[in-house]
Copies of this chain bind each other. A is one copy, B any other.
């Protein structure tokens, strides 16, 4: 316990080196795809040899895990909790903004999207700490829907489904373009109209 009291200069340097390595790792993945992460090249990019990386990360998978945690932390930052009025039109607009921002966040870095939201790295299993960030993220989406009166778990599942569907198609079939991005407003109209009618039970009917 006493060890963490004084944030030594040495510790700060280590943290900076770690951050540099992760930056280089992102850069390398963006260029060659998520699976292309390579310790020799990564070492070279930060001016060291591959074995030296093991001073900072105990394995390649731990690097992926740190990237995973960074990505979800960024996602949470991109989706602040809604703090506007609680009137229905305001909340609905808040949701529209959040979803639009979330999709922009995803498309801004397809490799990050792949790491965070698809299961594509063979041996990679996120640590518990990282998974907590992921759950927190999903929960933020849930809270948004609750503000609209959408408490049903199905409402959230359908929402994640239409959002990731749109992002996936955009990335897979029109990378860098806007063929699906253009459909965001239609998608939101479609989803909100349906979800509110289906799960918001205006009076007491099922």
Contacts and interface: CB of A to CB of B under 8 A. Distances in A.
Interface of A: 33, 35-36, 117-120, 122, 154, 157-158, 160-166, 168-169, 172, 179-180, 182-183, 186-187, 189-191, 193-195, 198
Nearest to A32: B122
A179 B179 CA distance: 29
Given A164-B169, A165-B164, A158 B190 contact: yes
Nearest to A170: B161
20 contacts: A33-B122, A36-B122, A117-B172, A118-B172, A154-B183, A157-B169, A158-B183, A158-B187, A161-B166, A161-B169, A161-B187, A162-B162, A163-B165, A164-B168, A186-B198, A190-B194, A190-B195, A190-B198, A193-B193, A193-B194
Name the 7 nearest CB pairs between A and B, nearest first.
A165-B165, A190-B194, A161-B165, A161-B169, A161-B166, A164-B165, A162-B165
